[in-house]
Amino acid sequence: MLKTMDLPCGRELDFLHIPLVMAIVNCTEDSFYPESHNASAEEACERALRAEKDGAAIIDFGAESTRPGANYISEEEEIKRLIPALKLFRKNSNLPVSIDTRKYKVARYALDAGADIINDISALEDAPEIGSLCAEYGAGIVLMHKKGVPGNMQDKPSYRNVIQEITHYLTQAAKKAEADGIPPHRIILDPGIGFGKRQEDNLDLIAHFDSFVELGYPSLIALSRKSVIGEIIGRPVKERLAGTLSAEGYALCKGAHIIRAHDIPETVDFAKIFYALKNRE
């Protein structure tokens, strides 16, 4: 049973209580959900502090949009957008911080500035040296599956058996991270809902989320307001909260440990109710 994840500077994640909520804080104006945009370091820090007050267990700062069709930005631009917000938050909070990046230089700057986890959508493919970097700092890592890159990942993706293929991929990625020196309890697996997946693939990944939990690592579900929700309920991004919570609930029933979300008060309340009921079984 997962208990805690020790992180730099004495910070930790506690898996013994409610499912953990990871708050999305975008240091960019190019996210698929306009209401999550933050135009300045001050705005991003304010949103992060508000998320902490609302019960988030982790803040996930990101400065590069990875929505379908998005183009990658330079390391310099990502650092310029990200690091001031992170430093400002660190002056005001000791809450665990995750950094959504696939770039080595950005990861090192972020860890030097007080980050605890690197959330790598490329699962160490784009910058393999991030693994040893996280081991050096005692940091955690999120390994996510994707097919292609954001600019083309939705151009006719296909799988013979999506569960088997992604389970195998994440297993190999985790073994690589362990070989780099990251202990298993600091490796978080994310099947990558919406990243090079068809609608049926996304639904299979949620319905069979226990396949990833059974690998024995902490697991993360990230489907907040995504198109997989919109295609079912027929609503635009700003009207997908109820659908998101429903799908997250199913993933929690399958054992998910961390929910990555935009809507923190609602998601935290939802997680508390889930934990209270689950504890009565």
**Which active-site residues does the annotation give?**
226, 260
Please give the model's pTM, rounded to 2 decimal places.
Answer: 0.93
DSSP 200-248: HHHHHHHHTTHHHHTTSS-BEE--TT-HHHHHHHT--GGG-HHHHHHHH
Which domains occur in the chain, in start order? 19-278 (3.20.20.20)
Over residues 27-62, the pLDDT tens digits come to: 876 655 455 556 688 989 999 999 999 999 999 999
Q: At what angle are helices 162-179 and 199-207 packed, to 10 degrees? A: 70
Q: What is the mean pLDDT of the chain?
A: 92
Over residues 182-205, the pLDDT tens digits come to: 999 999 999 999 999 999 999 999
Phi and psi dihedrals of 58, rounded to 5? -145, 140
pLDDT of residue 127: 97
**Cα–Cα distance measured from residue 176 to residue 181, given in angstroms and rounded to the nearest whole number:** 9
